[in-house]
Amino acid sequence: MSDFSQRIIAWQRAHGRHDLPWQNTRDPYAIWVSEIMLQQTQVSAVIPYYQRFMARFPDVARLAAASEDEVLQHWSGLGYYSRARNLHAAAVKIMTAHLGQFPQTPEQLAELPGIGRSTAAAIAAFAYGHRAAILDGNVKRVFARYFGVEGWPGQPAVEKQMWRLAEQLLPPGDVEPYTQGLMDLGATLCKRSRPTCHRCPLETDCVANREGRATELPTPKPRKALPERTITLLLLQNGNELLLEKRPAKGIWGGLWSLPEIENGTDPQQAACQRFALQTEIRPAMPILTHTFTHFRLHITPQPLQVTQRATPTPGTLWLDSADAVEAAVPTPVRILIRQLLGQ
């Protein structure tokens, strides 16, 4: 076993995290749900969602039997909604193609929707003790600093180099504490900003620490100006009810219920009439709401409309009491707008 892996294992046992809700179990379902939620999301944000999700969907059978809408509702606010859709699709596949038995090897796990190489390895390690290398964002940061790896880790050549390191450093045993230790080290000590190098078990041999380059490594992604986009969302009210529209499966907020969207400059009353056969009275516009995604910034003009003549709902739409709409499977900005409309 390399000195690197020995130090990681010893540190994890003494100082790592041991009491997270998804730890101290060999249940592959519980581990899988946590690993998907932890993709691009911090532990502190995941814990309450994980607990609510597991209370409603305690096993793969009940997740597969649920509707996608209900799964998205329990995911609403956590972001990156394709994770929830893939989680549901994978549960259905486990119940059908695998007869309810959770796959055990990284190769089989990686065939499920939403599970990549690193996530498959983590599930296999924690659930079955399988010896497989992980390489998530935290691990990339540890490797970049410790070995002085130059270049943005998202570049194929740099990522390939890091995968080689990940495979070479795998210990012959104790794969669970080693895997957890790498995750813990990156999340608690070798953080993106203000790393606490003096507490790190790798401090003495770390290239970034020795050369004073902890703030430089890993090399940041080349910065680009975020594109700006503007839209109008219609808040169509009929008494206490609000019209929601199902978003397409692909694109932002895929599969969620949302407020009907129109291009800025489009007449909102005309759009309501043409798309939903609704006669409306226009009400004062609400303040613009700006929401920043990973790849662009969205400026939303919320336009309330009072329905004066309601028609039969069109396919893909739903009339819902405004108070219930707040709790539905809607994106966070939409929930904010509905709460503003209700004066909350």
- CATH number reported for the structural domain that contains residue 42 in this entry: 1.10.340.30
Domains of the chain: total: 3
Residues 229/235, Cβ–Cβ less than 8 Å: no
Whether 214 and 303 map to the same domain: the answer is no
254 assigned to some structural domain: yes
Strands 241-246 and 317-321: antiparallel
Amino acid at 158: V
User: Do 78 and 17 share a structural domain?
Assistant: yes
Task: Looking at the structure, tell me whether residues 119 and 156 fall in a common domain.
Answer: no
Q: Do residues 296 and 268 lie in contact, with contact meaning Cβ atoms separated by under 8 Å? A: no
Report the half-sphere exposure of 9 (CA within 13 A, side-chain side).
16
Q: Tell me what percent of the residues of the chain surpass a pLDDT of 90.
A: 89
User: What whole-number percentage of the chain has pLDDT above 70?
Assistant: 99
Enclosing domain of residue 85: 3-131
Condensed to tens digits (0 to 9), the pLDDT of residues 18-61 reads 999 999 999 999 999 999 999 989 999 999 999 999 999 999 99
pLDDT confidence of 209, banded at 50, 70, 90? very high
For residues 241-267, give the mean pLDDT.
93
In the structure, what pLDDT confidence band is assigned to residue 130 with cuts at 50, 70 and 90? very high
Q: 180 in a domain, yes or no?
A: no
Number of C-beta neighbours around residue 246 at 10 A? 16
pLDDT of residue 310: 80
> Tell me, what's the pLDDT at 15?
97
User: In the prediction, which pLDDT does 343 show?
Assistant: 85
Same domain, 50 and 155: no
pLDDT of residue 344: 56
Would 174 be classed as within a structural domain?
Answer: no
Secondary structure tally for the chain: helices H, strands E: 15, 8
The CATH code of the domain that includes 193 is: 1.10.1670.10
In a domain, 182, yes or no: no
Full-model pTM: 0.84
> What pLDDT is stored for residue 4 in this prediction?
96
Are 120 and 138 found together in one domain? no
Q: 13 lies in a domain?
A: yes
327 is catalytic: no
Closest CA relative to residue 299, chosen from 310, 313, 286, 312: 286
Q: Tell me, yes or no, whether 146 and 219 share the same domain.
A: yes
Mean pLDDT to the nearest integer, 80-102 = 95
Q: Is residue 36 part of a domain?
A: yes
Q: 143 and 92, same structural domain? A: no
Clarify whether residues 244 and 140 are in a common domain.
Answer: no
Domain assignment present for residue 10? The answer is yes
Q: Could you give the count of Cα atoms lying within 13 Å of 13 in the half-sphere of its Cβ?
A: 11
3-state helix, strand, coil in the chain (%, to 5): 45, 15, 40
Domain end point (choices 198, 223, 248): 223
Same domain as 145, residue 265:
no
Sequence-distant (6+) residues with CB within 8 A of 98 are: none
Residues in CB range of 123: below 8 A, 6 or more apart: 28, 31, 32, 35, 106, 109, 115
pLDDT bracket for residue 167 (50, 70, 90): very high
Work out the average pLDDT over 258-281: 94
198 plus 232 within the same structural domain: no
Tens digit of each residue's pLDDT (9 = 90 or more) over 278-315: 999 999 989 999 999 988 999 999 999 999 988 788 88
Annotated catalytic residue: which of 35, 150, 245, 281?
Answer: 35
Does residue 235 sit in the same domain as residue 207? no
Judgement on whether residues 31 and 103 belong to the same structural domain of the protein: yes
For 123, the token pair is 């599930």
Residue among 109, 106, 66, 73 at smallest CA distance from 88: 66
CATH number of the domain where residue 305 is located: 3.90.79.10
Residue 237 falls inside a structural domain: yes
Query: Roughly how many angstroms between the first and final C-alpha of the chain, as a whole number?
Result: 58
The more confident residue out of 158 and 295 is 158
Contact 81, 41 (CB under 8 A): no
Alpha-carbon span 238 to 326, nearest angstrom: 16
Residue type, 82: S
Residue 249: which pLDDT band, with cuts at 50, 70 and 90? confident
Mean pLDDT of 175-195: 96
Contacts of 289 (CB under 8 A, 6+ apart): 299, 300, 302, 333, 336, 337
State residue 250's pLDDT score: 85
Residue located via tokens 């920043």: 292
